[in-house]
Structure 1
Amino acid sequence: MKIFTRNALLAATSLLLTQQAWCASREDNAKAPIIGVEDAILTDAPAVPPAIHRDHATKVVVHLEVREVEGRLADGVRYTFWTFGGKTPGKFIRIREGDLVEMHLDNHPSSKMPHNIDLHAVNGPGGGAGASLTAPGHSSVFTFKALNPGLFVYHCATAPVAMHVANGMYGLILVEPREGLPKVDREFYVMQSDFYTKGANGEQGLQPFSMVKAIEERPDYVVFNGSVGSTVGDRALATNVGETVRLFVGDGGPNLTSSFHVIGQIFDTVWPEGNMSTPTQNVQTTMIPAGGSAIVQFKNSVPGTFIIVDHSLTRAFNRGALAQLKINGPDNKALFSGKVSDEVYMPEGSNARVAEMPSQKPAAAESKAERIKLGEGVFANNCQACHQGNGEGVADAFPPLAKSDYLNADKVRAIKTVTGGLDGKLTVNGHDFNGVMPAWDLPDEDIANVMTYIYSQWDNSGQEVLPSEVAANRVKAANLP
């Protein structure tokens, strides 16, 4: 005979109540009468349509226009995206269980390919793919009943399917439970995906899709919301201390599984795989399969800039799977003190660390303007994660590059710092830092380009750094003066 504690009984009762409130049967939803009609409110990431407050099922009309558009994949890197609604990821769709959805797929006349849509929220052959195959300049219509609540991926399923998905054809559809979701202060739409280009990561210009890399699962970019840096700086997710945040997170793939993590946050509640019946609590990192989703929820306790990553970390810091959540509000030292002391710790044998990178000869810049443009791409791929897109760095951790007295005072010293690394105490713009600047094993041309870019930004001196100057002043980490 099992003996349950009071807490165990309360937890079991809470789970049963949650399941009852959030799970109607397929049969009930199939029989739900349809009252009225409405046009779906669709949003682009990271925005989410408003919560549904009606207490009945209705007919929801959804119009998705397929467009093939050229856009930014990374700084200086262009790509031809195939989209549901003009952007990658596609529009966020929000409906209620029991609703009858009338799906209109409109393929713009400028498209070069036929397209369709497979909605994982559909109980029907191909998720609607066969019913929606649409040639350029045509429109297809089909309907489906939303029988299961949950957060579902949709994507193009026209052959070759991996190519259509890899080019940006995916999005999320939320089927709210009858009782609705618990009220929160902020909701955001975040979707990860992997891109495969014929050129290497950071290679400039319009890059075509590489089927060879896709088949071998060797992505050049792993990103949130369609491009490197799509959700950082001025485009970061903005919230306040004390607010509860809900993220609707999807993984479009086509290949990689996401280890979704917000650095410095613990998820109070996670609905794994987008389900509405079995939430888990106090989760650090949640796994999201390709073609899958998760709902994560947490309350903001302290202010700051929190980094969102795929915790397969080279994807975050080398391929682009990095976003920012900015929380505004007063400090709470009782919950998080910040740094309370700053002491040097130098065990025997330590010195500046070297960031190993493969050496490849970049294209030579023919002018200062071209050097700045090329340097912008080098900065985005190697420097932005620490020093931020606006050059302001991170307080008490990474010094600013903006208006930097350290950089502007001595160009040769700056070259030696980049090529040789630096550790120990450093004062920049009147503030002390005590960390490690890794030595970057980049070609002279790349270092000249990125330093010229930095000098041209954020009220710095505007001087140019030449590859010959880098070569003349390049040092090894151990010899850095």
Structure 2
Amino acid sequence: MTQTTANRRRFMQVIGATGAVAVAGCLGNDADASENSTESEDEEGLPAAKAVDADRIARDPTDIPGPVDWNEPREHDITLETERVTAEIEPGVTFEYMTFGGQVPGPMVRVRQGDTVNLTFDVPDDMNIDMHNVDFHAVYGPGGGADATTLAPGDDPTQISFTAEYAGAFIYHCAVPNMDQHISSGMFGSILVEPEDGLPEVDHEFYLGQHEIYTDGEVGEEGHHGFDFDAMKKEEPTYVVFNGQAYGFTEDGVGPMEANTGETARVYFANGGPNLLSSLHPIGNVWSNYYRDGDLLSEPDKNIETAPIAPGTTAAGEMEFPVPGPVKIVDHALSRVVHKGALAVVDVAGEENPDVYDGDP
């Protein structure tokens, strides 16, 4: 796939065929020439794509523990295992990810305020080449647990125990000295500490994590992409993706998320970063209830169109679905959508509702 072909395909995904026809002339030959000249500058090219360790790096957005249904504090025994994984950012483009549990983001941890978490942290020698640890933003303690969990590959697993003292949606991430590289490579996830009274019931819950990937190749350039430290220092990512994969939850990826008209959904959204703010927007919808910065105790904000989420933050937003059709979840820094991969789709099925929306009156 050439870079030009990849960019035009992404452009069609984002705005749809009708919009593409209307503005295709604005791209013109100049855009094509620019893209092709960028590609031709890389005379040596990338090494061939590597064999992958996993069919997909993107964690299933429905892979979420069930809502809290207990009323007294309890203990949770949780194991986090780190794993280096070679997988595709997009077809034909491989990259070596660093992960908690083999996918991006790491598994969601879900507890109730006042619960105790007994964490076992492991860095197996056969799955890692780097030192790792974990910093939970939901933990009172040195480094959010990072000080006590720092391990080299092959070290004996370590254990910590903590009480979830404060409610909210929080991020966790690797926090070794070169944490920016590790987070960019996939080492982040979310811990949800539900308030004692729980959260309002919804029909669907989805779990997404945004991060930047800095590589030594161009977007769409087939082959194996290495990590580019200079690009990271300049905060110039090759890709900005959800759950480790460019356009993963679209028809061209593993498929969209699904819902029906009349239902509600809550999206837990972790911005791993490590550097860029996300401007989270559902195209064709709003966040009817928005839990800014993971605050689950205050009254949620209402009908928010675009929500800024700082790196190192988990937020939550709810949507209603009165009409069918695709709802496109994007970072509204739109070059990241059109060119870099920051797009996921919720495919809403059901009967048309012309009282709310009529596309052909």
Pick from 260, 267, 273 the counterpart of residue 253 of structure 1: 273
What is aligned with 2:72? 56
Shift in Å at residue 276 of structure 1?
1.2
Equivalent in 49, 61, 83 of residue 46 of structure 1 = 61
Distance 1:295 1:267 in 2: 9
Mapping of residues 200-211 of structure 1, within 5 Å: 200-211=218-229
Distance 1:168 1:269 in 2: 28
Structure 2 distance, partners of 1:261, 1:323, is 11
Which of 300, 318, 328 is residue 297 of structure 1 equivalent to? 318
In structure 1, C-alpha distance between the alignment counterparts of 2:177 and 2:255, rounded to whole Å: 34
User: Counterpart of 2:277 in structure 1: which amino acid?
Assistant: T
Report the Cα distance in structure 2 between the residues aligned to 1:158 and 1:58, rounded to whole angstroms. Answer: 30
Q: CA shift at 1:58, angstroms?
A: 0.8
- Per-residue CA deviations over 1:298-321 (Å, capped at 9, x if unaligned) read 211000011111000000111000
Partner residue, 2:165: 147
Give the corresponding residue for 2:153: 136
5+ long unaligned stretches in structure 2: 1-57
Q: How does 1:21-420 map to 2 (within 5 A)?
A: 44-47=59-62, 48-110=64-126, 111-138=128-155, 139-233=157-251, 235-278=255-298, 279-340=300-361
TM-score by length of 1: 0.61
Residue deviations 1:126-180, cap 9 Å, x none? 0000100112123111011101100000000012111111111001110011111
Matched to 1:232, the amino acid is: T
The CA RMSD measured in Å over matched residues stands at 1.2
Instruction: Tell me if the contact between 2:280 and 2:330 (Cα under 8 Å) persists in the aligned partners.
Output: yes
| Contact preservation (8 Å) 2:293, 2:314 | yes
The alignment partner of 2:294 has SS state of: coil
In 2: Cα distance, 1:74 partner to 1:159 partner: 29
Q: Which runs of 5+ in 1 are unaligned?
A: 1-42, 341-481
Cα contact 1:45–1:91 (8 A) shared by 2: no
Asked whether the equivalents of residues 45 and 92 of structure 1 are also in contact (C-alpha less than 8 Å), the reply is no
- CA-CA distance at 1:75 after TM superposition: 1.9
**Which residue identity lines up with residue 242 of structure 1 in the other structure?**
G
Please give the secondary structure, in 2, of the residue aligned with 1:273: helix
Q: Percent identity?
A: 38
CA distance, structure 2, for counterparts of residue 235 and residue 66 of structure 1:
27
Does the CA contact (< 8 Å) of 1:225 and 1:231 recur in 2?
Answer: no
What SS does the aligned partner of 1:268 have? Answer: strand
Q: 1:401-449 CA deviation, whole Å, 9 max, x = no partner?
A: xxxxxxxxxxxxxxxxxxxxxxxxxxxxxxxxxxxxxxxxxxxxxxxxx
Contact 2:213 2:237 in 1 (8 A): yes
2:331 and 2:184 mapped to 1: Cα distance? 18
Aligned counterparts of 1:81 and 1:339: Cα–Cα separation in 2: 46
The 2-side partners of 1:231 and 1:339 are apart by 28
8 A Cα contact 2:104 2:209, kept in partner:
no
Deviation of 1:256 (Å):
0.6
In 1, the alpha carbon distance for the partners of 2:75 and 2:280 equals 34
- Distance in 2 (CA, whole Å) between partners of 1:137 and 1:177 is 37
Q: How many residues align?
A: 298
For residues 312-344 of structure 1, give each alpha carbon's deviation from its aligned partner in whole angstroms, at most 9, with x where no partner exists. Answer: 00001110001101001100011100133xxxx
Aligned-partner Cα distance in 1 for 2:224–2:65 = 33
2:59·2:243 contact (CA, 8 Å) conserved in 1?
no
Superposition deviation, residue 45 in structure 1: 3.6
Larger RCO of the pair (alpha carbons < 8 Å, separation 6+): 2
CA distance in 2 between counterparts of 1:45 and 1:128 reads 27
Deviations 1:103-124 (A, max 9, x none): 1111122211111000101111
1:235 aligned counterpart, secondary structure:
coil
Whole-angstrom CA distance in 1 between matches of 2:59 and 2:161: 23
CA contact (8 A) 1:44 1:92 kept: no
Q: Distance in 1 between matches of 2:311 and 2:347?
A: 27
- 4+ runs deviating over 2 angstroms: none
Q: Deviations over 1:3-46 (max 9, x none)?
A: xxxxxxxxxxxxxxxxxxxxxxxxxxxxxxxxxxxxxxxx9440
**Which residues in structure 2 correspond to 1:435-454 (within 5 Å)?**
none
Deviations 1:199-255 (A, max 9, x none): 122221111111100010000000111111211125211000000110001100000
Q: Distance in 1 between matches of 2:202 and 2:118?
A: 29
1:231-288 CA-partner distances (Å, limit 9, x unpaired): 1125211000000110001100000100000101011110100011221111111110
Amino acid across the alignment from 1:213: A
